[in-house]
Structure 1
């Protein structure tokens, strides 16, 4: 397979979509990776497998409707494999393994059948000190946008997933691109004050538009840089509640086609007003784990 990812919105041809099959029992509080999951575990509203399977099936149907080649991980019994974006990402023709939380290593092993189709020289494993997850990495033509956290208390946050070592490593891998990092707001306890990944508070749309949430960024200057880069008139600013519900975590099949959650009424209306076809799917149950459509897709080829 010849990989090709230059940005977030060019016409999608091949993707790895996670799976909700055999995700196992509800995690205990000390097994949860994010504050939103913890909230739903405590409330007794944590999503059940059959509901999440239906949601992922709806996404697979949309992808197949647009003739996208869909790969799925091999199913590991009693194991959560929904969020394929966490485990790896593609920039240009390079497949980069994320240095994920150690107990998620098996998720990467479950896509070996896909890796076997890729030139081994194009599969990159970053040095051990580089912490990175795909939700923090956004190729955007001449840029690579990266969400990070560089505070001294980084080790204290289960929600801090990408460090500055990874930012430096990406710049070395892609010296012809500008790697632009953004400090994200982190919280282990309050999901409304936590940008787990960059795609939880920002995502490019179309050829020149973006979804953005100001409070997801620790530094207002970095938020303003994005606002100016896309132009205020091209930015859809989401509220704290909309960020909590993952409105920025939609997924582009093309510049003019976006898969979005069916309850994102304000966003979906704005997208349509800007000439974008919105393929609505149910995804509110999966969203309870602080991830949505971008989190559960790993694009391999875009035109």
Structure 2
């Protein structure tokens, strides 16, 4: 049976992708809750939605089927028993397991049809929306001024991170920060209960039931047997070794994982914010992750009789050339490597390119220096508006979860 997931490269023609249009969860960010919700600013929702709609239209115009996360989850929750199980789990993971307030939230959310219920879960449930007992109020929060019973999920429009397609399967991820950990529950239910995926032979290479952390922005599928995974603020070395071991033992086709260490900070939270593959032999790279002579710590993982063998290397270009069987590589610097332009455009996701075919990418229009450099290197660039979407610190790759790409012919 052919799997509905097929992603064996970063650059194969993009056929199907999952997006999440920003919703009211964006408007439920306040200056006080920005750190808690992992935001630096508050996007203006009407413009963010307009920009996101343009992004989706560019993908459709270039031959990509666009699916929306909300719709896929709603279709997965048609069965009443499945819906109730999901609802109880999302309430538990919102902090109300074995709590009296759990019943109040359950009754409130069950009063809506499924799409509306999901909308309320995603945008957050305020205390003044739910009728609760005075006893329950003590359980809600030590901060009585905090307005939400269930936190908003404003990071949902970055569909890349909660789950990542690899070959004919995916990882469903245990994410680093509490603000995002509930997000991967949506994909768990999509894979298990949406008719597009249910009983279709989708491999889950690593599920979300772990303590060690991994996020999709760190997972790059370089070809049909090589992955690159960032050792980052959001992905641990232990999780990389675990997923590598799972892939090697599962006849996945993957025999090489390249772990690349990047700075552990908010500006460079994932590997794809500093490094992306855009053609057979071309990559974007933010100069700040490399030393002056192009060095960065990396480890190559292979299957071995004892589980996983690990080799340490420093020359990223040589590591990639060997793993991908290439004579040379074109590493294209963000902002043309300028000491002012490069960090500015990297902050606005100039390195976060989404390849939709070999040598063809979608980027934010605000990173005009990086975009011009890409064109000079022969890359076809589709620019999308980005004044508000970029405030969430994620670009076109962050905002998309490819689930089907054409296989490469060479």
> For residues 217 and 143 of structure 1, what CA distance do their matches in structure 2 show?
21
- Residue number in structure 1 paired with 2:59: 63
Deviation at 1:278?
1.2
Q: Report if aligned partners of 1:139, 1:145 keep a CA contact under 8 Å in 2.
A: yes
Q: Report if aligned partners of 1:214, 1:220 keep a CA contact under 8 Å in 2.
A: no
Where structure 1 has 5 or more consecutive residues not aligned to the other structure, the ranges are 41-45, 150-159
Greater mean alpha carbon deviation, residues 209-218 or residues 172-181: 209-218
Residue of structure 1 aligned with 2:330, choices 230, 234, 258? 234
- Residue number in structure 1 paired with 2:263: 185
- Residue number in structure 2 paired with 1:132: 214
Q: How does 1:106-255 map to 2 (within 5 A)?
A: 106-111=182-187, 112-113=189-190, 116=194, 117-118=196-197, 119=200, 122-123=203-204, 124-141=206-223, 142-149=225-232, 160-175=233-248, 176-187=254-265, 194-216=267-289, 220-222=295-297, 225-228=315-318, 229=320, 234-238=330-334, 239-255=342-358
Greater mean alpha carbon deviation, residues 60-69 or residues 220-229: 220-229
1:104 aligns with 2:180: yes
> For residues 137 and 253 of structure 1, what CA distance do their matches in structure 2 show?
17
Deviation at 1:137?
0.8
Q: Higher relative CO (CA 8 A, sep ≥ 6), structure 1 or 2?
A: 1
Q: Secondary structure at the residue paired with 1:221?
A: strand
- Residue number in structure 2 paired with 1:82: 157
Q: Report if aligned partners of 2:217, 2:398 keep a CA contact under 8 Å in 1.
A: yes
Residue of structure 2 aligned with 1:263, choices 352, 366, 369? 366
Q: How does 1:13-32 map to 2 (within 5 A)?
A: 13-23=15-25, 24-32=27-35
1:231-273 CA distances to partner (integer Å, 9 max, x unpaired)?
A: 8861111222221121111211111321111122222223223
- Residue number in structure 2 paired with 1:302: 405
Where structure 2 has 5 or more consecutive residues not aligned to the other structure, the ranges are 71-117, 124-152, 249-253, 299-313, 322-326, 335-341
Deviation at 1:133?
0.4
TM-score of the two chains, using structure 1 as the length reference: 0.83
Q: Residue 126 and residue 221 in structure 1: after superposition, are their counterparts in 2 closer, same or farther (change >3 A)? A: same
Q: Report if aligned partners of 1:87, 1:97 keep a CA contact under 8 Å in 2.
A: yes
What RMSD, in angstroms, separates the aligned Cα atoms of the two structures? 2.6
> For residues 179 and 271 of structure 1, what CA distance do their matches in structure 2 show?
27
Q: Secondary structure at the residue paired with 2:264?
A: coil
> For residues 33 and 208 of structure 1, what CA distance do their matches in structure 2 show?
39
> For residues 34 and 135 of structure 1, what CA distance do their matches in structure 2 show?
18
Residue of structure 1 aligned with 2:383, choices 276, 280, 299? 280
TM-score of the two chains, using structure 2 as the length reference: 0.63
> For residues 209 and 357 of structure 2, what CA distance do their matches in structure 1 show?
33
1:268-288 CA distances to partner (integer Å, 9 max, x unpaired)?
A: 223223333211111232222
